[in-house]
Amino acid sequence: MTDQSTALQRHYDDDGGQLERVRQALLAAGLKPGEASVADLAPLDHFHTRGSKATVELAELAEIPEGVSVIDVGSGLGGPARYLAEQYGCRVTGVDFSPVFCDLATMLSEYCGMEGHTTFQQGDALELPCANDSFDLAWTFQVQMNIEDKALFYREIFRVLRPGGRLAFQDIFQGDGKSLYFPVPWASDQSMSFLISPEQCRELLKETGFVEVAWRNQRPIIKSEALPAPAPGAPLPVLGVHVVIGEEFITVKRPNSGRAFREGRIEFFQGIFDKPV
């Protein structure tokens, strides 16, 4: 494991206690193994801006056919993978750098009966453990901010997609170039954060061989849905990403990211790109 990977493990609170914390939170929410629904888990397992709402909207933008094979690069807790499997009949392979996240994602699929439609494995996004031309759809949600070698990241996705396959993503990009306020949800400090501008990303994808289908700025909808910061000392929700990566996610990291967004330091975009036939 590289020093950078070790630092990311620490950032995402890889302390060995996540599985038990999640089990206890599910119990407190009245959810039992095999009896929960995909929707029941949504407050917990969509680890990205706007949560399950953004997942639904990106899937609609991608116009996903029924039953396609999907690779979810940076699959996290597996919420989007389960949504795609349930709504579109997809067979989803999730790859994440964190073995703990993969274990959690597997457990959560078992809670809602989706273990036959989703699999999760530890792997490197820069060396995906998959053969060439294996998938119809590549899906990634707010992952590339932690990856310095973005050219290799997108080449790997291009490699594992079949000709005619599609890439769908939502990501965070550099805004006005001013520094961020750390920590943020994806980085404890500048050494973990590798932001590029939206236009740099579009150009990089085209250089990789992708053809742009859709490009959507998320700023208007994020601004319209902005929620007030929780009052100091207010109880946290029973289910939420904080169960996995700590209360600082809600009290510090997310507010820092929100401030950076309001000030134009970061931007959010969704993109759909195709691999030519």
Whole-number pLDDT of residue 3? 59
Asked if residue 4 has pLDDT above 70, the reply is: no
| Residue for token pair 């890889």 | 14
What residues contact residue 95 under an 8 Å CB cut-off, 6+ apart? Answer: 71, 72, 73, 74, 75, 120, 121, 122, 123, 125, 128, 129, 130
Looking at residue 201, its pLDDT comes to: 98
CATH class of 3-274: alpha beta
Q: Find out whether 29 and 122 touch, Cβ atoms under 8 Å.
A: no
pTM of the complete model? 0.94
Q: What's the pLDDT at 11?
A: 74
Q: How far apart are CA 18 and CA 228, in angstroms?
A: 27
Domain boundaries, the chain: 3-274
86-119 confidence digits (pLDDT tens): 999 999 999 999 999 999 999 999 999 999 999 9
Residue 235: per-residue pLDDT: 87
CA distance 119 to 131: 16
Q: What is the mean pLDDT of residues 12-28?
A: 86
Exposure of 215 in the CB half-sphere (CA atoms within 13 A): 11
Residues 37 and 245: their CA atoms lie apart, in Å, by 23
Q: Per-residue pLDDT averaged across 27-55, rounded?
A: 96
Size (the chain), residues: 277
Angle at 220 between CA 263 and CA 182, to 5 degrees: 35
Q: How far is residue 261 from each of residues 160, 192, 218, 226, 268, measured CA to CA in Å?
A: 33, 18, 11, 11, 9
Long-range pairs of 37-42 with CB within 8 A, sequence gap ≥ 24? 37/112, 38/82, 38/83, 38/86, 38/112, 38/114, 40/112, 41/79, 41/82, 41/108, 41/111, 41/112, 41/239, 42/79, 42/83
- Average pLDDT of the chain to the nearest whole number: 94
Q: What pLDDT was estimated at residue 191?
A: 93
